[in-house]
Structure 1
Amino acid sequence: MSKQLSLPVSLKDQVTFDNFIVGENQQLVSHLQNLLVPEQSGPSLAWLTYFFAETGLGKSHLLFSTCYLAEKNNHSCVYLSFKDKEYLSVEMLEGLELYDLVCFDDVELIEDDLPWQVALFDLINRVKEQGQSKLIIAGRFPLQSLPLQLPDLVSRLSWGVSFRLVALEDVERCNALIIRAEQRGLSMPMEVAKFLINHLQRDLPALMQSLDKLDEFSLQQQRKLTIPFVKSTLNL
């Protein structure tokens, strides 16, 4: 089976475990990092992992990082976000049980789509039967609160291990911004990072979008990241 990894082409930063700020999520991160290491994969239920958090806390980052690690170690992998389901067919889930790693994002977005729920239900059954693949599914809600029409799908998801992704503290958000800025060749002082945290939306995707703009204008104007520059660039 050839490797398949579908990640957003708009990602400007390399998304790996190295630039994920762990915070209180070490247990989840360690679990994902060791998922494809046979001697460290843990209990038999580790073939299926579900984790949840509100939007903007890093679910997609963790899925991308796990795929990146899998591909780096020559494992076949596939990523799919249910945000894109209107452009996809349920038939694309057929045969995914033959991949080493299968990652699904935004599972709550199939709440009103029974064919996708049935297809995911069937895939979970095939993955368990084949015993070859690791399946990771991320969503916004705890398992018992998932708004799904198919009760048996929630039951199947409970076959695996479940984690809650915990939000970062403000200092950890600042560190995430500083690290991403450094990856782009930008030096972001801590006071600038704190200013951004205090004056913008606090979720990381929104903060990274602001970093995109600062990166662009800093390059154009050959300016350093200072609070006055940030204020004028972002109209704060």
Structure 2
Amino acid sequence: MRQLNLAIDVRSDARISDFAGPGWASVIDATRQLHAGLLSRCFIHGVADTGKTHLLSAICESYLDVGRTAIQVSLIELVHAPTEVLQALESFDLVALDDLDAVVGMPHWEEAIYHLINRSEQRQLVFVARSPATHLPIGLPDLQSRLAQAASFGLPVGDNVDDRRALLFAVLKRNGWQFDPAITEHLIEHGSHRPGLMLKTLAKFKPLFQAQRRKPSLALIRQTMAMIDQDLIDQNSEA
């Protein structure tokens, strides 16, 4: 419970405006529908490193920004906790459950999530997993049915250069960073195409650029491009 309290006190560095580009249009529209009360259940899925957790943080932030309550919880972190912990979430307007895959196949957790859904007529729920609900090996048929009824949205994997470019420039604009064109083009063309990995690479730039008040030096540009190349090597070796 102490971990949950800490989680809701810390605002994340994620905003809905980060997710620009044609591939994100449907899920961003779903966020608008959540705010308008047109959706009560949403299921977001995507393979590894497609930015699922960043998106979930942004959705929760969008609720906090308008004075509503929201909480994001990773089920990986709760998998060894008693399932009664889910009852502590029922005071929030929006409950976002990340890493649903972690508890699939665990009967007590599947039943607890099913009961959470049943008790959540007055709140909205967002679920996140690597696969669509219909493809998850859920043992409880009633839970599978409930999750399959939620509006379902798959995330882009970064194959579209327009998505990568839009995501990059949206994050740069929000942070007030002015990258040299050589850096942005190198990241778009030669960095990781997965949205989540691109965001992780950008986070490493923060110490280099947040105090920058003038045009970056050639040495800084080269250092940043080398970081992009090294990140891609490291990410490929971990895959």
Q: Does 1:91 align with 2:84?
A: yes
Partner of 2:109: 116
Q: 1 or 2, which has the higher helix percentage?
A: 2
Q: 2:222 aligns with which of 204, 207, 228?
A: 228
- Equivalences for residues 195-214 of structure 1 within 5 A: 195-214=186-205
Q: Are the structure 2 counterparts of residues 97 and 184 from structure 1 closer, same or farther at C-alpha, using a change threshold of 3 Å? A: closer
Aligned to 1:25: 24
Deviations 1:150-202 (A, max 9, x none): 23211121232222223342232133223323433431244422312333322
| CA displacement at 1:9 relative to structure 2 | 5.3
Q: In 2, are the aligned partners of 1:49 and 1:161 still within 8 Å (CA)?
A: yes
Q: d(CA) in 2 for partners of 1:20 and 1:214?
A: 19
1:215 maps to 2:206: yes
Deviation, 1:10, is: 9.4
The 5 Å alignment of 1:115-134 reads 115-127=108-120, 131-134=121-124
Distance 2:99 2:153 in 1: 15
Matches within 5 A, 1:45-194: 46-86=39-79, 88-94=81-87, 96-127=89-120, 131-168=121-158, 169-194=160-185
C-alpha spacing 1:136/1:187, structure 2 compared with 1 (3 Å)? same
Q: Which residue of 1 aligns with 2:234?
A: none
Q: Are the equivalent residues in 2 in contact too, given 1:182–1:188 (CA < 8 A)?
A: no
Partner SS, residue 34 of structure 2: coil
**Which range is displaced more, 216-225 or 78-87?**
216-225
CA RMSD of aligned residues (A): 3.0
Amino acid at match of 1:26: A
Deviation of 1:80 (Å): 0.8
Query: Offset at 1:62?
Result: 2.6
Residue 6 (structure 1) aligns with = 7
> CA contact under 8 A between 1:7 and 1:64: conserved in structure 2?
no
Asked whether the 8 Å contact 2:53–2:98 carries over to 1, the reply is yes
Write out per-residue CA displacement over residues 52-73 of structure 1, whole angstroms, 9 at most, x where no aligned residue: 1112223223322221122222
Residues 233 and 37 of structure 1, relative CA distance in 2, 3 Å threshold:
closer
What corresponds to 1:37 in structure 2?
A: 36
Shift of 1:50: 1.1
State the alpha-carbon separation in 2 of the partners of residues 106 and 63 from structure 1: 11
Unaligned runs of 5+ in 2: 231-239
Between the aligned partners of 1:235 and 1:166, the Cα distance in structure 2 is 22
1:197 to 1:53, Cα distance in 2 relative to 1, 3 A: same
TM-score by length of structure 1 reads 0.79
Cα gap change, 1:218 to 1:97, in 2 (>3 Å): closer
Give the C-alpha shift of residue 134 in structure 1.
0.9
